[in-house]
Amino acid sequence: MQPYYTHRPRHDMPSKTRTAGPRTPARLSPDITEIIPRLYMSDLSCAENSALLAALGITHVLSAMRGAVAVPPSVQQKQIPLEDHPFAELAAHLPGATSFVRDALRDGDARVLVHCAQGVSRSASVVSAFLIAQYGWTPQQAVQYVKEKRAAAEPNFGFVAQLQEYADSIKAAGS
């Protein structure tokens, strides 16, 4: 019996989705997205790819995950020890994370990479928090913008709720 599709998948094209299973050539393609100028989001494999970091001129890496991350010594790194589940405490880390990104981007030559293991939930939440703090966006605006730039981005529901708390705290501090 022949399969219902008429063509074979092209493994030489970059993959937009991450699936379980053996690494194929498509999955070896860099999975990195520029969200705003000089602010990138990716998975762990890109964060540990020193050739890719050098090619993009990445000067700062914010790791939103537990465990060791091997970045070159020339790159400044901040790590948020964060699990990817809805009840993980994200909000406590957001002021420091957004300050790290903001301070780095003040240098016109700096480029920042925010990553987590898959480049889906934790990193999307941290980048969204930066957009909320920097531009005064609502959490919905920030998350939608990140999703438009990076289709795989999908903050979990607990992180979205904590983004709202963060936005409320910024608004209260500005009153």
What the block records as the tokens of 50 is 């020193």
Catalytic residue among 58, 113, 116, 133: 116
Q: Is 116 a catalytic residue?
A: yes
Pull the structure tokens for residue 83. Answer: 């699990």
State the Cα–Cα distance between residues 51 and 67, nearest whole angstrom: 21
Strand order in the sheet with 32-36: 32-36, 39-42, 112-115, 60-64, 76-80
Cβ-based neighbours of 61, under 8 Å, separated by 6 or more:
47, 53, 69, 71, 75, 76, 77, 78, 112, 113, 114, 115
Catalytic (active-site) positions: 116
